[in-house]
Amino acid sequence: MKYTTLPNTDVKVSKICLGTMTWGNQNTEADGHEQMDYALDQGVNFFDTAELYAVPASKETYGKTEEIIGSWFKKTGNRDRVILASKIAGAGPYTAHIRSDGFAKEAIISAVEGSLKRLQTDYIDLYQLHWPERGVNCFGVRDYPYATSREEAENHYEILETLTGLVKQGKIRYVGLSNETPWGTMKYLQTAKKYNFSRMITIQNSYSLIHRGYEYGMSEVSMRENIGLLAYSPLAQGVLSGKYLDGNQPEGARGTLFPRFIARYRGDGSTAAVREYLKIADNHGISLSELSLAFVNQLPFVTSNIIGATRMEQLKENIGSIHVELSGEILQKIEAVHAAIPNPAP
């Protein structure tokens, strides 16, 4: 395994992060335990979860993933070997079954307490805001929703004040963002500096060969402000494994069970790009998944690459991508495809 550190800390984390969002729906508790056993044995010490998991979010599966991680901690005693990240759910109809007061002070405190109980731990290493309360262009929305921008609230001060209090109590160690924009990220950084609050150290946004929008502004923020990207959906929900090409619908696959998860990645442009990337992988004797993950692994603004799998063979290949080195020739070919078909997935 390769390691880096969480920005502005001395906390060592694996370059591959274990994503967990299928545990409690597509995967059983036993599956989750097996994945954590294997990942830790391979040197993966960084696990990411969220209170709303398992997905798709529902009242019935709310908190199930954290419970599975908690039961593994209790069974194995491995809490001190893992850097654990979780998230508070953002506001909106998708999470109405969780709460209705978004990132209000009491909501954040309640969310942290709930996660700690389910995770059977006294602290969370990295606590993240799952998505902004204001409308932004994420989750398949390509353009900024300016029509509603004047209705958006700014509550950076209250959020950071509350999170800082939880850091001082030892319930969380560090704080981060997710699905944020350059403006939102800089507002949090500026507010933290002005009022001596805990500083956001990471941002968990989507990034893949067919969705490189992070490079439009956010990558510069990452590198100049030292706020590291935790890249999620590096395989574009499995589309960049090639398994959905030619209309294939593999049995039990996420895109087969929950088609809306991959809809944003299955347009004509995305399919054309995936075919080109598959040619590059085939010509160089690696799988498309390995090519896709290795590309993200080597980016200078990426702190860790969040992989997720429903089957052990997928998990083994994904973690093994850390040992795949892409040559200059391969990188040039990737950039040529990107220039011809830039960011086909929103």
Q: What does residue 172 show for φ and ψ, rounded to 5 degrees?
A: -135, 155
Is 207 among the residues known to form the active site?
no
pLDDT at 151 over 70: no
The residue ranges of DSSP E strands in 37-171, in sequence order, are: 46-48, 83-88, 124-129
DSSP state of 95: G
Over the chain, what is the mean pLDDT? 95
> Residue ranges of the alpha helices (H) in 120-239?
156-169, 182-195, 218-225
pLDDT in tens, 85-115: 999 999 888 899 999 999 999 999 999 999 9
For the structural domain made of 3-204, what CATH number should be given?
Answer: 3.20.20.100
The 8-class DSSP code of residue 13 comes to E
Mean pLDDT, range 21-49, rounded to an integer: 98
Query: Sorting pLDDT into bands at 50, 70 and 90, what band is 180?
Result: very high
Start-to-end Cα distance in the chain: 31
| CA atoms of 40 and 54, how far apart (whole Å) | 21
Q: How many residues does the chain have?
A: 346
**φ and ψ of 119, to 5 deg:** -80, -10
Classified as helix, coil or strand, 268 is helix
Give helix then strand counts, H and E, for the chain: 11, 10
Boundaries of every domain in the chain: 3-204
pTM confidence score: 0.96
Catalytic site residue from 3, 53, 146, 216:
53
The H or E element containing residue 16 is strand 16-19
Running DSSP on this structure, what letter comes out for residue 44?
A: -
